[in-house]
Amino acid sequence: MRVTRLLALLTVVLALCGASAIADPFALHSGDRVVTYGDSITAQQLYSNYAEAFVLTRFPKLTIDWWTAGWGGDRVTGGGGGNIDTRLSRDVLAFKPTRVTIMLGMNDGGYRPLDEALFNTYQKGYQHILDSIKKADPSTKVTLILPSPYDDVTQTPKFDGGYNAVLVKYGEYVNGLAQSQGLDTADFNSAVVAMLQKAKATDPELAKKIIPDRVHPSPAGHLVMAETLVRSWNFPSLVSAVSIDASAATAVRADGATVSKLKGGESVSWDELEAALPLPINFDDPLTALVLNSSDVVDAIDQETLQVTGLTAAKYELRIDDKAVGTFAKEDLAAGVNLATYATPMLAQALTVRDLTASHVGVHATRFRSILAPYQGDTDPNVKKALGDVVSALDKLDEAFVAKQRAAAQPVLHHFALAAAQ
């Protein structure tokens, strides 16, 4: 996807960025330990991975530990991974989280019209989860996620009203519970449904692949869920905003970046050190492109704007670290372009962070699903010793991946060059 911005839109975006300086600060801090808890949609390790990568690429100096604790088929009462008290004790509270996110409901509704008995069980079970977390540590912050949708948008509902209407009802309860207890919420349902409606209007067949089985979103669909989650924590829109007057060889604006060695004239060059990276998104994937064009992910949280005025040639080629990024009309550069949507060295760096995030989460998943869950209760001393050795080795491996992940997110100086193009 290649996006250029009109000057008026850029002005609005920059104004909003300026306004964010006095808005509520980002909710997470160094030292936080975040557990994402839920059913198989959480067990996909996608929206949680994206959220972790989004936070690290935007705040590379923060040291936050993340743990994904999803289990297929789970309800508020638990499931295949154990009853709810076992799940909470082993998979959440043992991590001593400072923040827990909870998304449950897809399985609780039974995939049928609203059943009052099931709904009552959901309400009581959800309250029990919150009571258990509060009892373990009253300081733990909790984000309640309204259940992600069952796709009754791109495919025909299976019964009158559709199953997603049931999930909306469950979400209304979750939202009310959050309000009564002063908890954060993230509405995955509304955000994804709105995206699905736009995607269906654009490409009905491709839109069906966003949630191919109507329950588990594709990686592209999880991008919207991750956006919704981090925005509930006051995630900023700005990666960086740089404005250069080529005729005066002056950096007029450099928010989230430092500009040095600026040379103006017909050809313009400078060095730039950005404090953050763009979101790690593969813009070349057709399904991802459909999701992004049908949502506000880029506009809301992925703004890496470059504006260059005072140019005289009709078109200019932008190179970063001697890598061709794109050719732009001088009017587009004067209005501003969003570099976050181009194949820049900064995006390549962000994608590396994303891949390392997946690697360390994979180690967590092995530790959690293959070691702790099935064998924790084994009393054989030989088994216990062997398991302890394996867990220790996995912890060291995870630490190594996390160190590489955090190192990969740190700012890197880049050389920018604009030269007249035919």
Please compute the mean of the pLDDT values over residues 93-121 and round it to a whole number. Answer: 98
For 25, the 3-state DSSP assignment is coil
Please compute the mean of the pLDDT values over residues 42-54 and round it to a whole number. Answer: 97
Q: Does the pLDDT at position 422 exceed 90?
A: no
Q: Does the pLDDT at position 91 exceed 60?
A: yes
Q: Are 274 and 288 in contact (CB under 8 A)?
A: no
Bridge partners of 263, per DSSP, are 269
Write down the pTM of the prediction.
0.92
One-character DSSP codes across 78-132:
EETTEEHHHHIIIIIGGG--SEEEEE--TTTTTTSS--HHHHHHHHHHHHHHHHH
Q: Please return the burial class of 81, using the count of CB atoms within 10 Å of its CB with bins 0-12, 13-18 and 19+.
A: buried
The larger pLDDT score, comparing residue 197 to residue 373, is at 197
Write out the two tokens for 142: 């909790």
Q: Does the pLDDT at position 375 exceed 90?
A: no
Note the pLDDT of residue 371: 87
Q: Does the pLDDT at position 223 exceed 80?
A: yes
Q: Does the pLDDT at position 8 exceed 70?
A: no
Distance CA 130, CA 37 (A): 12
Fold observed for domain 26-231? Rossmann fold (3.40.50)
Phi, psi of 269 (to 5 degrees): -145, 155
Bridge partners of 315, per DSSP, are 329, 421
For 260, the 3-state DSSP assignment is strand
Q: How many CB atoms lie within 10 A of CB 58?
A: 25
Q: Are 398 and 364 in contact (CB under 8 A)?
A: yes
Phi, psi of 409 (to 5 degrees): -85, -10
Q: Identify the weakest region by mean pLDDT among 90-104, 167-181, 382-396.
A: 382-396
pLDDT digits (tens, 9 = 90+) for 339-352: 999 999 999 999 99
Note the pLDDT of residue 120: 98
Please compute the mean of the pLDDT values over residues 138-151 and round it to a whole number. Answer: 98
Average pLDDT, the chain: 93
Note the pLDDT of residue 18: 44
Q: Does the pLDDT at position 236 exceed 80?
A: yes
Note the pLDDT of residue 376: 77
pLDDT digits (tens, 9 = 90+) for 126-143: 999 999 999 999 999 999
Note the pLDDT of residue 23: 59
Please choose, from the candidates 61, 62, 57, the residue with its C-alpha nearest in 3D space to the C-alpha of residue 347. 57
Distance CA 71, CA 373 (A): 11
Q: Which residue has the tokens 């760096």?
A: 349
| 57-60 contacts at long range (C-beta below 8 A, 24 or more positions apart) | 57/276, 57/277, 57/278, 57/279, 57/280, 57/350, 57/353, 57/409, 58/235, 58/236, 58/239, 58/276, 58/277, 59/26, 59/28, 59/276, 60/275, 60/276, 60/277, 60/406, 60/409, 60/410, 60/411
The larger pLDDT score, comparing residue 22 to residue 70, is at 70
